[in-house]
Structure 1
Amino acid sequence: MTTVVAHHDIVKGKNHWLSSPVREERFGPLGVTNIRTFVDPQDPTKVALVMDVADMDALMAAMQEPWMGEAMAADGVAPETLRILLEEKPAGS
Structure 2
Amino acid sequence: MPTLIGHHDVKDRDHWLASPKREELFGPLGITNIRTFVDPQNPNHVAVLMDVPDMDTFQAAMQSEGAAEAMAFDGVLPETLVILVEA
Fold in common (TM above 0.5) = yes
Counting matched residue pairs gives 87
TM-score (norm 2): 0.98
Gaps of at least 5 residues in structure 2 are: none
| Structure-1 separation of matches of 2:74 and 2:18 | 9
CA distance in 1, matches of 2:13, 2:81: 16
Partner of 2:79: 80
Larger Rg over CA atoms: 1
Structure 1 counterpart of 2:80, which letter? T
Other-structure match for 1:38: 37
Aligned residue in 1 for 2:62: 63
Q: Percent identity?
A: 63
SS class of match (2:41): coil
Compute the displacement of 1:14 (Å).
1.1
In the alignment, which residue of structure 2 is the partner of 1:47? 46
Which AA in structure 2 matches 1:3? T
Amino acid in the other structure paired with 1:6: G
**Which amino acid in structure 1 is aligned with residue 26 of structure 2?**
F
The CA deviation at 1:44 is 0.7
4+ residue runs of structure 1 moved beyond 6 angstroms? none
**What is residue 19 of structure 2 aligned with on the other side?**
20
TM-score with structure 1 setting the length: 0.91
Render the CA deviation track for 1:4-31: whole Å, top value 9, x for unaligned: 00000001x1110000000001100011
> 3-state SS of the aligned residue for 1:35?
strand
